[in-house]
Structure 1
Amino acid sequence: MKSTFLSRSELIGFAILALIIFIALPMALDSFRLNLFGKYLTYAFVAVGLVLCWGAGGILSLGQGVFFGLGGYCMAMFLKLEASTPENTSIQSTPGIPDFMDWNQLTELPIWWQPFHSLAFSLFAVVAVPVFFAFIIGVAMFKRRVGGVYFAIITQAFAAILTILIIGQQGYTGGVNGITDLRTLLGWDIRTDEAKEVLYFVNGALLFVVLFIAQFVRKSKLGRLLIAMRDQEDRVRFSGYDVAGFKIFIFCLGAAFAGIGGAMFTLQVGFMSPTLVGIVPSIEMVIFCAVGGRLSILGAVYGALLVNWAKTSFSESFPELWLLGLGGLFIAVVMLFPNGLAGIWSQHIEPRLKALFAPRGAPKSASQSTPAE
């Protein structure tokens, strides 16, 4: 049977998510809480990429924080340079460079910072830099048929290495504090409540662009090949397909999604630091995907929203126990509902809705009928 881009149930799912993001949340939340959910949505970019890499392709990456952080740092560098004009930094020993460079006794802007004076280049780098590093890692690993738990551990090591590098090069990266005090985007003050609300809607619109790209990949021949590689990689290879090439592509696509999410995080929150790059945030990003359902791109969005909302709620109410509460939520969902929130919908809610709205006297579907004895 020929597959359509969006089935009826998928179209309803996209419509419900759009109503929640663009209507329900803005109407129900104040500016502060809406900005929090805007931050949560930036993590959804990573979770959607993980659905393609891990859920469809069987590539478990524990280093997606690397790509999230690289995209965020590329945007933060542009914003920091815009905030570091000679007028704004006149009290420094060297006006015209970021404050953390002046504190570390640098007297001129490093040459690799120079292109980030341009917004166009910075937007290009938000995607290109994570994709470049993902390509290097992918070629090095997949061409040598490194996969499974070995690949997961290696990506985790890359996350640790990048964190150490960022912290160690304090004069060039801001060190453990990261890049802070980001003020304007082409003269537009991004610190106001009105700006945060506009960025929230931009964030939501970009997320839907990413969701449609992911849906296109899932419905294409590439999506079917990814599932085949996940289940029977050797058969796909013996059929003449370049398995390593497909893996590299989907890994790079997930990195691009993560980079966009990182850039939107920087704009939404107003800083970028190495705490968002390392092993712990990378594992949390996998949890978002697992809780939402690693086979569902919409489930990944709900997983990112639910886990981060729970994290915020637990930390506010039980500051000493929130990690236990977050871990308990993850364990409960995985043990009771292995397919995550998407599995709850498809197995328990959707069949009841279909039965409720089905015409009376309509024959039962194959899934509802009792198997013959």
Structure 2
Amino acid sequence: MIAQRLFGADRRIATTILVLLAAAVVVPLLNLAVSPTSAFYVPPYIVALLGKYLCYALLALALDLVWGYCGILSLGHGAFFALGGYAMGMYLMRQIGSRGVYGNPILPDFMVFLNYKELPWFWYGFNHFWFAATMVLAVPGLLAFVFGWFAFRSRVTGVYLSIITQAMTYALLLAFFRNDMGFGGNNGLTDFKDILGFNVQADATRSALFAASAVTLALAVLLTAAIVRSKYGKLLMAVRDAESRTRFLGWRAENVKLFAFTISAVMAGIAGALYVPQVGIINPGEFEPANSIEVVIWTAVGGRGTIVGPIIGALLVNAGKSWFTGVLPEFWLFALGGLFVAVTLFLPKGVVGTWDGWRGKAGALRAASLAAETGADAEEPKPRTVRSAARIPGAWSASGPEPQPAE
């Protein structure tokens, strides 16, 4: 009953949240409380790998909010992810203190090597976790707000918006590669020691970071579901499907887009902040435009506009990547490209969207068969609409074709 009140007829969201919360408890227990000789033991490297996958899933969910529900194909979400990661990395670097290679209690090792005389002003405050956490939220959010303010008010849409988001990412990539920027240049930030006073390499810390990633993803799913099921969510989809009509009705479409874009960027920044202590490094490579394109592939494979689909897509694609890069590393990029082409051609609604379509058709066939057996009037069977978070423009629905985007 509680799940029905919170999530309506769609139990998929509730199930996803429960699975994530269960994983946040079970996986750490299997790592810390089970003997390494047991078949149920989860090694520390698997815990860290799964935690990284959950961070990717949170990033894909962030993209789904703007692409699946608002029609904004952003090719720059990797930048928000990296900025959140750098904010956390700066905090972790300040925790090293005199334990660095050069033993300087104030300056990180790379600054000593580059002959910095004092700590740059923008590093002040990062020795406090609360300040770093604030920057994890504020920096990606502020960049998205400023970028979106100019882009959406200029009525930049479609492929042009995608291009300038990728240009933003590439500009940040070039900037962070510079040694004089004060972020470690091409080597980035690494050699972390502690987080909140705990050894970042310890098994218990890795398990805690995994649990934090799982709980954060569960909360993000709940938040996204609440947004898209609200009146604002209906407005988001109206802008996606018919922006000109929405404007004609008196709504400021640019404000609708700006709010979603900013919230999505903050979610991506949180994903980056959780990612860095689990992988142990952050460098300008995270700004690579190819990384943002991969996020689009994860979302498309799972099914955009479904909330759960991007999470499934991120987990499946990255698990496949780990397997391919270990067994056939030279074929990974070909496999990824082939997967995207295959999904585009044969599963245009993604895994979850296609599954919903099959369920709808199966329900229609069962209804027709039941009507024939009971001798009911032969009527055209009506497909049963499967409740999901949102429908993709142009997708099948019981009420006929949906309006296509006006842009």
Using structure 1 for the length normalisation, give the TM-score. Answer: 0.89
| Distance in 2, Cα, partners of 1:315 & 1:350 | 37
| Distance in 2, Cα, partners of 1:290 & 1:312 | 19
User: Does 2:303 match 1:301?
Assistant: no
User: Does 2:238 match 1:222?
Assistant: no
| Distance in 1, Cα, partners of 2:337 & 2:23 | 26
> Counterpart in 1 of 2:128?
118
Change (3 A) 1:171 1:222: closer
In structure 2, which of residues 323, 336, 346 is the aligned counterpart of residue 336 of structure 1?
A: 346
Secondary structure of the residue that 2:189 maps to in structure 1? coil
My pick for the range that moved more, 322-331 or 159-168, is 322-331
> Counterpart in 2 of 1:286?
296
> Counterpart in 1 of 2:265?
255
In structure 1, which of residues 344, 367, 370 is the aligned counterpart of residue 383 of structure 2?
A: 367
Aligned 1:112-261 pairs, distance under 5 A: 112-169=122-179, 172-261=182-271
Structure with higher RCO (Cα < 8 A, 6+ apart): 1
My pick for the range that moved more, 339-348 or 308-317, is 339-348
User: Does 2:75 match 1:62?
Assistant: yes
Aligned 1:88-99 pairs, distance under 5 A: 88-89=99-100, 91=102, 95-99=105-109
Which 5+ residue runs of structure 1 have no aligned equivalent? none
Corresponding letter in the other structure for 1:104:
L
Q: Cα offset for 1:34? A: 2.5
| Distance in 2, Cα, partners of 1:119 & 1:354 | 55
In structure 1, which of residues 82, 88, 94 is the aligned counterpart of residue 95 of structure 2?
A: 82
Q: Deviations over 1:186-212 (max 9, x none)?
A: 210111222111110110001111111
Change (3 A) 1:115 1:195: same
Which 5+ residue runs of structure 2 have no aligned equivalent? 31-39, 386-397, 399-407
> Counterpart in 1 of 2:86?
73
Contact 1:63/1:279, CA 8 A, preserved across alignment: yes
Secondary structure of the residue that 2:281 maps to in structure 1? coil
Secondary structure of the residue that 1:254 maps to in structure 2? helix
Using structure 2 for the length normalisation, give the TM-score. Answer: 0.82
Number of aligned pairs? 362
Q: Cα offset for 1:5? A: 3.9
| Distance in 2, Cα, partners of 1:157 & 1:284 | 16
Change (3 A) 1:170 1:191: farther
Contact 1:170/1:176, CA 8 A, preserved across alignment: no
Change (3 A) 1:170 1:32: farther
In structure 2, which of residues 58, 63, 77 is the aligned counterpart of residue 50 of structure 1?
A: 63
Contact 2:21/2:214, CA 8 A, preserved across alignment: no
> Counterpart in 1 of 2:393?
none
My pick for the range that moved more, 209-218 or 192-201, is 192-201
Secondary structure of the residue that 2:225 maps to in structure 1? helix
Change (3 A) 1:224 1:192: same
> Counterpart in 2 of 1:105?
115
Contact 1:65/1:279, CA 8 A, preserved across alignment: yes
| Distance in 2, Cα, partners of 1:353 & 1:185 | 52
Secondary structure of the residue that 1:97 maps to in structure 2? coil
| Distance in 2, Cα, partners of 1:340 & 1:19 | 25
RMSD: 2.7
Q: Cα offset for 1:325? A: 1.3
Q: Percent identity?
A: 36
